[in-house]
Every structure is written in structure tokens, then in C-alpha cells.
Structure 1
Amino acid sequence: MDDHVDKIMEKIGTQTTGTKIVGIHGTGEHWYGRGSKVIITTRNEEVLKDVDFKYKLTEMDFNHSLLLFSKHVFRRDHPPAEYVSLSKKVIEICGHLPLALAIIGSSLVGEDPNFWVAKLEKLKTIPEPKVKSKLSISLEALEPPKMEIFLDVCCFFVGFDMRTVTYMWANRKLFPEYSLEVLKRKSLMKIVEGNRLWMHDQLRDLGRDIVHERAHFKLEKQSRVWDHEESIDVLEIKEGRENVEAICLRFDSQFEDFIEKEEFISLSKLRFLQVDCVDLDENNGQHFPSTNWAQRNPIMLPSLRWLSWHNFPVCFKFTARSLKKLVILDLSRSEITNEWEGWKQLKMAKSLKVLNLTRCKNLHRTPDFSAHKNLEQLILQGCTEMVEVP
């Protein structure tokens, strides 16, 4: 199913910013045949030049805007009499935009009229088109733990299973259960089917803008780098990148040319590393990086909490410092075997909570986990040769 959706997305050019497939009807064996319907949302009309039917959403009318706003603020269809006039002013300032009404409305829950007046004065200072600036007002009161979680989701974790991500946040004392509940109440994110984290595109972009602004728009100063090209640029910068905490890379020829530089292993604050090897063919996976390089340069990331590296090079070595704080390890689709030397090193990962070995097809039995007293999740989906699970 996912492969079919990817093909559709390629056909309609969903790499265009703001373009998404939100629903497909009639998928399955005849996923693109008679009776199939593809629903596309986009902010770029060029994407829709060959579609059969277009529908342009109009501005929400006042009555529906008031209803939506009241639901978020008062948990009822209409505001109390003393808040009617103030509610109308908020709706006018928000330009009837549903997301702005939901976010700003949630920030006014339980507040007295004087607080509303002050909030309105602040909203009035922001020009009408700047929705992100208006939404950012609702973030100003977020305490650091909640802001950290919000930014993490914006940059990396939309669509991730909340139950997995919370292990990392809990390890960092960010109180994820409480923080996520507050963020949900403020309409800054949702937990959708399958316990997946979800947020509106505009909120995601707002969070990423905050990361840029905090770094004064200097790439090497960013705490989070989610774009592969920018990640490579950061790793090539030799100084000033000590703030990098989370980074996402794609295993391609550009990464191959770079990885043998020792700068890759010198990010002292890095807590999340994701290396995406989706497009890596088996031959490249077997021959790169070189065994000699891996033996000379073990992974030394002392703050690492989460390593997600599919098709992990079996010759890589960990150091005790890199494993001390490791909570989540995802080695899906790797060629590791039961004789892999890394199992001995992983015994030093005393804080490990989640181990994902999905589609590690060379494993015949689970390794010895006696040293992992804190392990809570072991994922063996697709380990087709597994015959023994002690």
C-alpha cells in the first residue's frame, strides 16, 4: 500500500511544498484502476492542472467561526454574554482561519476579560497575513520542557509512534505525559490513530522557524537539523556546531563521500541521530564504509539517546560513552547476525528501553538480554529466520 501511494505522489509531484494526499478510495489490487479516487490538497495550483475536478475552499463564515472558537474556549456552541463582543474581535483578527481560531482560542481558556483585552492588543500589532506570528503568541507561555517536545515533533516526529518517542523525552526529564497533554489542550498537536503524533503543517513550519531564529539563522548554530543537504553542510563545518542535538541524514553518495571524515563522530551534544538508508542497495551496504575506517573511528556520541540507522554497517563499533545514555536503538533491515560483535558492546547500554530489529533477516535467535534490565520493547517484525526467542 505504501509503495502504491509513493508512486501516486511521484506522478502528481508532491515534493511541491504544501501538497499532500489526504485520502485514497478504491485502493488495493486495482489501486489505480477503474473506480479509484485520489484526493489531493495543495497550496500550489500548478499541481492540479491535469486533475478532473477542483474545489477551492472559501473563508469560513462568521457563524461557523464563532462556533469553532466557542468550542475551543468554552466547550459550548456560543460564548457567554460577557465574552460575545471579545470573541467577535478575536475572530476578526484571526481572519476566520480555523487553525488560528483553535490555537488562540485554546490559549484563552479560563482567562478573565482583562486577559482577553491584553491578548487582543497584542494580536492587533501583527499584520493580518502573518498567521504564523499570531500563532507564535500561543507558544510564548510554554515552559521549556513543553517547548522542547513541541520543537522535536515539528522537526522530526510527525507521524511517529508517541509511545516510542516518549522514552527519549522521559530520559531527558521532560515529563512527556503531562507535557503532551498540555500541548494537546492548547491544540498544538494531536495523537491520532495508532498513537501517532500529528500537527498542522503551519504549526510544523512555525516550530522550524523558531529553530532557525534561535540560531540567528546560522545553520551550524541550530539545535535541530532535519534536512539532509543542510545536515551534510553542518557536518562539514569544523567549528561552532556544538549546539547540534538532533540530525537527520540520508545514506547516499554524498554521505558516502563525507562519512570517512572524523568530524562525523565529534558532536558532543547529539542526542538523536537518524540515518535513512531507504534507497541503499545491498552491494553498497556491504562495501561501505570500509572496515578499516570503522575500526579506527568508533562511534563516540556521549549524549546519544536515540540511534535510528537502518541497514547499519556491521563493522561499526560503539564506545562505552556512546552507549551510556542510549534509550532507543533502531537497526531495522540490517545484516547483523547472532555472531555480530556489536552485541557485546551493547551490553554497556544499561538504559536501553527500545530495540527495533525489524526485518533483520539474518538473525536466528534473540541475543542475550540479561544485561538489559530496563528493556521494555523488543521489535522483531519481519525477522523471518528467527527460530528461537528465549
Structure 2
Amino acid sequence: MDWHRVVGSLLQLDINTYLVNSQNVQICEVKELNKHDSLQLLSLTIFGEKHPKIGYEDLSESVIAYCKGNPLAIKVLGANPSSRSKEAWDNELKMLQKIPNRKIFNVLKLSYDDLDCCQKAIFLDIACLLREEHKDFVKHVLEACRFFATIGIEVLLDKALIELKLIWHVNLDVDTIEMHVLLQEMGREIVNQESKDPGKRSRLWRAEEISELLKNNKSDSFRRMKNIRYLKIYNISDGSTCNVYFPDGLEWISDKLRYLRWDGYCLESLPSTFCAEMLVEICMSHSLKTNFHSKSLLVDGCSSLMEFSVTSEEMTELSLHGTAIRELSLSIWRNCKLTSLGLTECNKLNTVGKKLSDDHGLGFVTELDLSGCTEIDALSLWSILDGI
């Protein structure tokens, strides 16, 4: 293949997937270059031949690994002088991990600049926080932020700023939101340019920056985050522990929060001033909190949780896996929108709250998991099944 003749077209296609002619608009998907073609394009650009120069094989491999099949990035990085030393090449690759190449950034940003304000917000949320998450979850959170997620995601797909990747999850094929690493870097750099002070940026994702912010401001950290919509604190290696502690307590969290995941939450409750009306999903695995208001609630592994009440009639999903609850609360029976109830390994659950004549029961539940509930007797089990 003659890369010098076709690379100009590839670069244009990489910016936008639309090919317009006088008859109609055709959408054309441009595939990433495979490893062989990437290496050939890089070698032709730098050395004028199809293979890397002797001694530069490993560095060439590192360059194409960084570019992830993007012909624009390969051409830009390959335009550096072929006489550059291996040490200089290695140093530039390390620099790119923190500071994106300006030429690549400016070209990729053209498609971002063409978005409206909601679409830009969606793109930045995905680049900084939501990449590789399930599509339905991403839409759920973004719709709660009033970003018009359905059309926004479609626009990003049409402009090839994101893509859908099918994965196998719990006996189902589900779509996840994917984004090329260079586009993710571009989005994150846009946020980095908002301020030199991480605490004044719209989004934070680096653990070291978040840790420094919390350390310096202690319990007052979240009071400064008046518009926080998405909060995820977790230990990637062990969800049962978390190194975020507030010895003086936590006084305030923004009422604008839509999603909250806080594994190993160290306090007995969320701040009393917190109003969770906008919260659409909460996950507090291995935590102590006992009373929440949300549409989807997952408190799996909270082995100290002994009492629980449903405070939202809008709740559709509830998972209490591994908790120490002894009684199925009366509030469960009054929830007419609950469709999924997970009680696996609730091995102390032995009492079912009495269903009153005017309670709705569990008539809308389509998923019920009682595996591992060894203390439930026949009468209690019949009460649960009778409500469905």
C-alpha cells in the first residue's frame, strides 16, 4: 500500500466520518490501523523505508502503541527528525503521557469545537469519568444531569468521538462506551487548561490530585464542590477498604449529586444536611449507612448493616447482598415500582414485615434472588412469594 498517497485522505476521515456528495450524506467508518500497517506508516514517515531503522525497533513499537492505530498521530510524531537520538525519542514519549502533542490536540479538537454545550459536557464526562462504562448507565446519569444524553451520544458516535463496544456481562451482551485514548487525552487536556489549580477545574480523576485536595481542605473539601454531580471513591484492588477518612466528620455534600459510589464509607451516615432528591444511583459497598433515598441502591457487602428502610417510592432496584438485616422492612411492601430485589447471602434474614391490606406488595418485581438466605422459614418465604 502506498501510504504517502492515501494518508491525506485518512487524516481527513479521522476528523469527521461524514462524506458529503451532491446526492446524499454517507457515513463512513474509518478503522484503526493494525500493528503491521501502523509500523509501516511510521517507518516510511521517519526513515523512508518500510521497516524501523536498526536499533529503533523497540522505540517504534512504543510509538505505535501510544498512537493506537491513529494515522494522524503516527504522521505527526513521525514528522520529527530521523536524526533524533533514541534518548530524545524516549523522553518525548514519557512527556506525552502528561502533555498531549499540540498538533494532534489541535486537529482532534476541531470536532469537539463543533459540538453544542450539552454535547461538549457529555464528551468531557466520558473522557474524564465514564469511559468503559455501560451505555445504559452512562445515559441514566447524563439524563439526570439534563444533558439530553440520547441525542448527545448519537452525535458523538456520528462524529467518531466515541464508539460502542459489546462485552459479555452477567449472561448478557451489553454496550459499553469506548473512546480512543488520544481523544480521551484531548478531552482531559481541555479540562486541565481550565485552571492550574485542580480544585478549580470542572472534573477531577487523578487520584493524587484528589488526595491532595482532600488532605489540604479536610472535612471542608466537599463544601467547595457546590456543583459536583458524580462522586466515585473506591479502592480498585479491594473494595472493602478505603483510605478516605474524616476524623472531624463530614458536614456537607452537594444536593446536586446524581451518582455516588463510596466503598468503605467510614462514617455512620451521610451529612444530615444532604438532600438526595437528584440522586439516581448510590453504591456504598462495605459501608455503614442505613437509610437512603434513591432509584437504584446497591449496598452489597455492608456486613454491619442490620436495619434498612426504603425512603423512595421511585426506587426500582435494591441489592442488600451480604448485609446483616434480620427483617424485610414494611417499606418494601409499599414500593410499587421495585422491579429487582437482591437478598443473596442475607443469612440473618428471618422475619418478613407484615403486609398491610392497602400495601402494593411486590407485584412488579421481576428479579428476586434469595440464595444464601438460610434463616428464612417456610412461612416467611410464602409471605414474600405471596406478595409477587
TM-score, normalized by length of structure 1?
0.54
Name the SS for the 2:282 alignment partner.
strand
Q: Is the 8 A contact 2:232 2:262 kept in 1?
A: yes
Deviations 1:317-341 (A, max 9, x none): 55xxxx3xx444332333266xx43
Q: Distance in 1 between matches of 2:335 and 2:147?
A: 23
1:211 to 188, 191, 208: 191
User: 1:247 matched to which residue of 2?
Assistant: 231
Identify if the C-alpha distance between structure 1 residues 228 and 365 changes in structure 2 by more than 3 Å, giving closer, same or farther.
Answer: farther
Mapping of 1:192-203 within 5 angstroms?
192-193=165-166, 194-203=174-183
In the alignment, structure 2 segments of 5+ residues that lack a partner are: 23-44, 46-66, 74-99, 167-173, 236-240, 346-368
* Bigger mean CA deviation after superposition, 370-379 or 154-163: 370-379
Taking only the aligned residue pairs, the percentage that are identical comes to 19
1:232/1:249 contact within 8 Å kept: no
Q: Does 1:300 align with 2:274?
A: yes
| Partner Cα distance (1:306, 1:262) in 2 | 23
Offset of residue 59 of structure 1 = 11
Task: Please report how far the alpha carbon of residue 172 of structure 1 lies from its aligned counterpart in structure 2 after TM superposition.
Answer: 2.6
Q: 1:108 maps to which residue? A: none
The offset of 1:200, in angstroms, is: 0.9
Distance in 2 (CA, whole Å) between partners of 1:231 and 1:301 is 24
Q: Residues 180 and 363 of structure 1: is their aligned pair in 2 closer, same or farther, counting only changes over 3 Å?
A: farther
Superposed CA offset, 1:206-234 (max 9, x none): 222222223x1322223322233332333
Residue 226 in structure 1 maps to residue 226 in structure 2: no
Partner Cα distance (1:317, 1:161) in 2? 27
Residues 201/60 of structure 1: CA separation in 2 closer, same or farther (3 Å cut):
farther
Q: What CA distance in whole angstroms lies between the structure 2 residues aligned with 1:61 and 1:374?
A: 60
CA contact (8 A) 1:228 1:249 kept: no
Residue aligning to 2:51: none
State which of 281, 286, 304 in structure 2 corresponds to 1:311: 286
Alpha-carbon contact 1:244-1:267 (below 8 Å) kept? yes
For the residue of structure 1 that corresponds to 2:257, the secondary structure is: coil
Q: Which runs of 5+ in 1 are unaligned?
A: 1-57, 81-94, 103-126, 278-287
Aligned-partner Cα distance in 2 for 1:244–1:296: 16
Tell me: CA distance 1:276–1:370, structure 2 relative to 1, closer, same or farther (3 Å).
same
CA contact (8 A) 2:251 2:271 kept: no
Paired residue total: 264
Q: Tell me the equivalent position of 2:301.
A: 333
Equivalent residue letter for 2:209 = E
Distance of 1:299 and 1:60 partners within structure 2: 62
The SS at the match of 2:118 is helix
Q: Deviation digits for residues 67-90 of structure 1, max 9, x if unmatched? A: 6855964559xx89xxxxxxxxxx
Q: Secondary structure at the match of 2:196?
A: coil
Cα pair distance change 1:378/1:204, threshold 3 Å: farther
Aligned-residue offset at 1:176: 1.6
Q: Structure 1 residues 243 and 265, CA, compared in 2 at 3 Å: closer, same or farther?
A: same
Instruction: Report the counterpart of residue 52 of structure 1 in structure 2.
Output: none
Rounded to whole Å, the distance in 2 between the matches of 1:240 and 1:231 is 13
Offset from partner CA, 1:288-313 (integer Å, 9 cap, x none): 84xxx526955725454432322222
- Give per-residue Cα distances to partners, 1:344-386, cap 9 Å, x unaligned: xx32x344444455x5365799765455445555567886325
Contact 2:131–2:177 under 8 Å retained in 1: yes
Q: In structure 1, what is the Cα distance between the partners aligned to 2:214 and 2:275?
A: 14
Q: Give the superposition deviation at 1:144.
A: 2.2
The answer on whether the counterparts of 1:100 and 1:134 sit within 8 Å (CA) in structure 2 is: no
Whole-angstrom CA distance in 2 between matches of 1:62 and 1:329 = 56
The Cα shift of 1:198 comes to: 0.7
Question: In 2 relative to 1, CA 166–70 (structure 1 residues): closer, same or farther, beyond 3 Å?
Answer: closer
Larger radius of gyration between Structure 1 and Structure 2: 2
**Where does residue 137 of structure 2 map in the other structure?**
164
Structure 2 vs 1, CA of residues 168 and 365 (structure 1 numbering), >3 Å: closer, same or farther?
farther
Q: CA deviation at 1:180?
A: 0.8
